[in-house]
Amino acid sequence: MQYIAHEPYIAPARVKPELWRLLLGIVMVVAVYALGVGIVFGGVFVVAGPANAERWMLEMIEATGPTGTLLLLATFIGMAVGPMVAVAAFHARRIRTLFGPIPRTFRHFLIAMVVCGAAYSVSFLFPNDVEIIPNLDRTIWLSFLPLALVGVLLQTGAEEILFRGYIQQQLAARFRATWVWMVLPAVLFGVLHWQPDIMGDNAIFIVAAATLFGLLAADLTAKTGSLGAAWGFHFANNTVAILVVAMDGPLSGLALFTAPLDPSSAEIRPLILLDMGTTVVTWLLIRLAVTRFP
């Protein structure tokens, strides 16, 4: 594939493309991310007090309640800020270069979000054997929804800034081979979804699904020369998975409905494969849409 828009997107990374700078930058990202998590935990301790802090921290880790899930999403602030610090400290780049042209980023974010939302709405019309049950009272869900949307926007934006922004740009500035700048960040993104303690033997399928998404998001970023399409795709996908219908268990605290499925059971594997197929179709529709409205 030819990625004409990718060249100006990665041009700022060519100023200081050395690998040692990228490695130091990743260390910086990890440090800032850890600091952000510490700040959130510290805030919980200060507000809740020593007597209640442990309970709130456990709720945050399990993310089965709305407040705990919001706090967990808040920890991604460090992941968002980390790459911004890294490009300024090690690459002599402006923060905005992580996003590409801002008007295009905003436009393609909206296009991808609308396309993805429409695709998932259609997919819900197809009959399936998955039972969904109410999770949150509708009034409570609506009261949390504005902050929940901000939280998902932060979480997906942080991951896109890091993987499809910082890492993809710096690798592409150093290596011309597509498999390096597209595949390696996607594999890293997938591996970070490895949760065998929760998913059991299904963990490898979740890693595969996340890696696939990383590849498709990298393609959209290279195709458009901005983070907008990938971010909108990611945001809409996670909004459905976290805020509308979540699997019962961790990260279900803000969902209107849950599917009472054992994440480690073999019965969810066809659903994972179906979700991967839906992801590919949605990616193709987004790609066509951003080509029509560059």
pLDDT tens-place values along the chain, 294 residues long: 679 999 999 999 999 999 999 999 999 999 999 999 999 888 888 887 777 777 777 777 777 789 889 999 999 999 999 999 999 999 999 999 999 999 999 999 999 999 999 988 887 777 667 788 999 999 999 999 999 999 999 999 999 999 999 999 999 999 989 999 999 999 999 999 999 988 888 999 999 999 999 999 999 999 999 999 999 999 999 999 999 998 887 888 999 999 888 888 888 888 899 889 999 999 999 999 999 888
Degrees to nearest 5, angle at CA 267 with 66 and 116: 55
Class of residue 257 by CB neighbours under 10 A (exposed 0-12, middle 13-18, buried 19+): middle
pTM check: above 0.85: yes
Please compute, for residue 18, the number of CA atoms within 13 A of its CA located in the half-sphere on the CB side. 7
Residue whose token pair is 């700078």: 21
- Domain ranges (residues) in the chain: 6-292
Q: What pLDDT is stored for residue 127 in this prediction?
A: 66
Cα–Cα distance measured from residue 135 to residue 246, given in angstroms and rounded to the nearest whole number: 9
Q: What pLDDT is stored for residue 268 in this prediction?
A: 86
Phi, psi dihedrals of residue 133, rounded to the nearest 5°: -125, 150
